[in-house]
Amino acid sequence: MNETSKTRKLWGSLEYTILTGKGIDIGCGNDPVTPTARTFDVNDGDANKVSSFINEEFDFVYASHCLEHMRDPQKTLLDWWKLVRVGGHLFFIVPDEDLYEQGIFPSRFNDDHKYTFTISKAKSWSSVSINVLDIAQSLPQGKIVNILLQNQGYDYTLYRHQLLQSNRIARSLFKHCMKLRKKGIYLPSVERFLASFTSIDQTRYCDAVAQIQCIVKKIA
Q: What number of other Cβ atoms are within 10 A of residue 114's Cβ? A: 16
Q: What number of other Cβ atoms are within 10 A of residue 35's Cβ? A: 5
Indicate if the pLDDT at residue 218 is higher than 80.
yes
Global pTM? 0.94
Give the Cα separation of 106 and 87 in Å (integer). 37
Cβ contact 9:209 at 8 Å = no
Considering the domain architecture, whether residues 105 and 178 belong to the same structural domain is answered as: no
> Where does residue 171 rank: exposed (0-12), middle (13-18), buried (19+ CB within 10 A)?
middle
Query: Which residues constitute the domain of residue 32?
Result: 3-154+209-218
Mind listing the pLDDT tens digit for each residue in 49-102? 999 999 999 999 999 999 999 999 999 999 999 999 999 999 999 999 999 999
Give the Cα separation of 209 and 150 in Å (integer). 6
pLDDT of res. 53: 97
Considering the domain architecture, whether residues 23 and 111 belong to the same structural domain is answered as: yes
Considering the domain architecture, whether residues 70 and 91 belong to the same structural domain is answered as: yes
**Residue 89 domain flag:** yes
Indicate if the pLDDT at residue 211 is higher than 90.
yes
Considering the domain architecture, whether residues 130 and 35 belong to the same structural domain is answered as: yes
Please list, in sequence order, all residues whose beta carbon lies within 8 angstroms of the beta carbon of residue 172, skipping any fewer than 6 positions away: none
